[in-house]
Amino acid sequence: MNAGNGDVCSIWNFDGNIAYEDIIRATNNFDIRYCIGTGGYGSVYEARLPSGKTVALKKLHRLEAEEPAFDSSFRNEVHVLSNIRHKNIVKLFGFCLHHRCMFLVYEYIENGSLFCALRDDGHALELDWSKRVNIVKGIALALSYLHHECTPSIVHRDISTNNILLNSTMEAFVADFGESRLLDPDSSNQTMVAGTYGYIAPELAYTMVVTEKCDVYSFGVVALEIMMGRHPGDLLSSLTTLKSTQTKMLNDILDTRLPRPTRQQKHDIFLVLTQAFACLCSNHKSRPSMIALSHKFSQIPVILAANSIYITSVEQVY
């Protein structure tokens, strides 16, 4: 792939070669008609290539490309995604780092973001309880891979429903690695606060140290949001009260747009909710690891009432 001027430009093997010119033609030079969303540091376009395949292109706007922070995030995403492969992480096929046109080439994920799906009543109804549990499990598997199977470990730092994409069968894909961080075991890993408001682990505000447990907290928020159908803002602020309550009915927080869950679905929902609350522990050292969370999805015992789901306190579950 040739973009001229000696800039870095590479497309990896993807059904043969993808030419720079094919991408420009497929988007009519990144015409707004092909824009399908706006991310943290650029816009995303849909491009149908001559081969018939469709890819997603994340393009850094020219003014943003002149900002060191945006340029750094863009290059960071290339560096991280070029070295990882997981079924629940969006695939990066290539990139173009050119002073006039900087973009990443991704696999195309048909159903867009989880954020949009949960906020549209029609799409939310398509996400039945079983699909929602599977989405939670997919995110957990992806984060477990990043934290425990990559060397060095990778912390995403911006896990939110905006950065979870859904394919045609409603499987989850973790995306947007612009803020991700490789953990250095010989470093303090101090950093500026990064992420999306409402999902950021509280300890980052005063320690400025990034760890895997920051992602764990964000995962807990996302898992609750999936089951509630909305961001759990007020519930997060009342967790202290929740933990001190001997018996708490959780039916009241489940997404009322869906039919009442079946007995088996209650089993899975209980599992997700107990995991989510454990992830939101104010003491980050007490939060479970992502690999432990993945294992517990098939191990935690479930307490069922006839018509309600109960937690007999978060502490008692763990």
30/287 Cα distance (integer angstroms): 43
As given in the structure block, the two tokens for residue 43 are 């816009």
Pairing label, strands 172-174, 164-166 = antiparallel
290/306 Cα distance (integer angstroms): 31
Residue 31 among the catalytic residues = no
What angle is formed at CA 163 by the lines to CA 99 and CA 274, rounded to 5 degrees?
155
293/223 Cα distance (integer angstroms): 12
> Under 8 Å CB-to-CB from 250, ≥6 apart: which residues?
270, 273, 308, 309, 310, 311
Among 7, 158, 176, 234, the one annotated catalytic? 158
293/277 Cα distance (integer angstroms): 12
- Residue 22 in contact with residue 50, Cβ under 8 Å? yes
108/90 Cα distance (integer angstroms): 9
Enumerate the active-site residues. 158
